């Protein structure tokens, strides 16, 4: 028996138990039993479960079951985001963009927002479109072609506000720009 197979056999019950803990934590949270939710999330979060890390971050962010602690929330959001959790990536975008618990950093906000958007998160797709549409006046220049592409992707992924932004952009773009943006948006697939 190979070492990797043996490791899998030994760790499989632990992985299943962590999945159960995360589910138990979600159920406790839904009941408003945040102390139990925190207790259920800690073990899996420390072992690298990105769902548990995100859920724990949200509890620290809101102060449910634990004292509100934006530093701990940022720590767990970051760990989950680094593991590809799109909700955590989007929350990091918001925290850095708004300067909540951290120094405002538009570059860091855009980085996390784009990572979530590339995986197909509708809110993040819309937010990336906003970055290009507004330019934000913070080192980002307006780019209507890119804004159109990202808003189109957001609309395809279910964001209801994206359609009005696309209409607004079509008034400011040439037909050739719109056609090119539509072509580029059409060829995109979210990463999974």
Asked whether 67 and 101 are in contact (CB, 8 A), the reply is: no
Q: How confident is the model at residue 134, as a pLDDT?
A: 86
Q: How confident is the model at residue 185, as a pLDDT?
A: 87
For residue 8, pLDDT beyond 50:
no
For residue 89, pLDDT beyond 70:
yes
**What's the CA gap between 88 and 75, in Å, rounded?**
11
**Number of alpha carbons in the 13 Å side-chain half-sphere of residue 103:** 2
The pLDDT confidence band at residue 139, using thresholds 50, 70 and 90, is low
**What's the CA gap between 176 and 130, in Å, rounded?**
21
- Asked whether the whole model's pTM tops 0.95, one would answer no
> Is the domain defined by 1-83 classed in CATH 3.10.590?
no
Distances (CA, A) of 107 to 92, 104, 111, 140, 176: 12, 9, 6, 9, 30
Query: What share of the chain has pLDDT > 90, as a percent?
Result: 74
If one compares 17 and 163, the residue with the highest pLDDT of the two is: 163
- What's the full length of the chain, in residues? 192
Tokens of 33: 């039993």
Tens-digit pLDDT profile for residues 99-121: 999 999 988 999 999 999 999 99
What ranges do the domains of the chain cover? 1-83, 109-192
Average pLDDT, the chain: 88
DSSP string covering 126-182, please? Answer: HHHHHHHHH-BTTTBPP-HHHHHHHHHHHHHTT-TTHHHHHHHHHHHS-HHHHHHHH
Indicate the DSSP class of residue 190.
-
């Amino acid at each position: 028996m190979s070492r990797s197979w043996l490791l899998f056999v030994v760790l499989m019950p632990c992985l299943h138990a962590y999945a159960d803990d995360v589910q138990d934590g979600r159920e406790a949270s839904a009941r408003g039993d945040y102390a139990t939710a925190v207790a259920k999330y800690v073990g899996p979060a420390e072992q690298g479960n990105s769902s548990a890390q995100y859920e724990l971050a949200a509890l620290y962010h809101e102060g449910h079951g634990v004292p509100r602690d934006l530093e701990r929330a940022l720590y767990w959001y970051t760990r989950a985001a680094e593991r590809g959790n799109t909700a955590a990536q989007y929350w990091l975008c918001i925290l850095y963009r708004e300067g909540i618990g951290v120094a405002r950093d538009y570059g860091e906000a855009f980085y996390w927002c784009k990572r979530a958007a590339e995986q197909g998160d509708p809110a993040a797709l819309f937010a990336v479109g906003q970055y290009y549409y507004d330019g934000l006046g913070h080192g980002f220049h307006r780019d209507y072609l890119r804004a159109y592409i990202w808003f189109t992707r957001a609309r395809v992924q279910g964001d209801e506000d994206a359609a009005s932004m696309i209409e607004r952009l079509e008034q400011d773009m040439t037909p050739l720009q719109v056609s090119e943006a539509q072509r580029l948006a059409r060829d995109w697939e979210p990463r999974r």
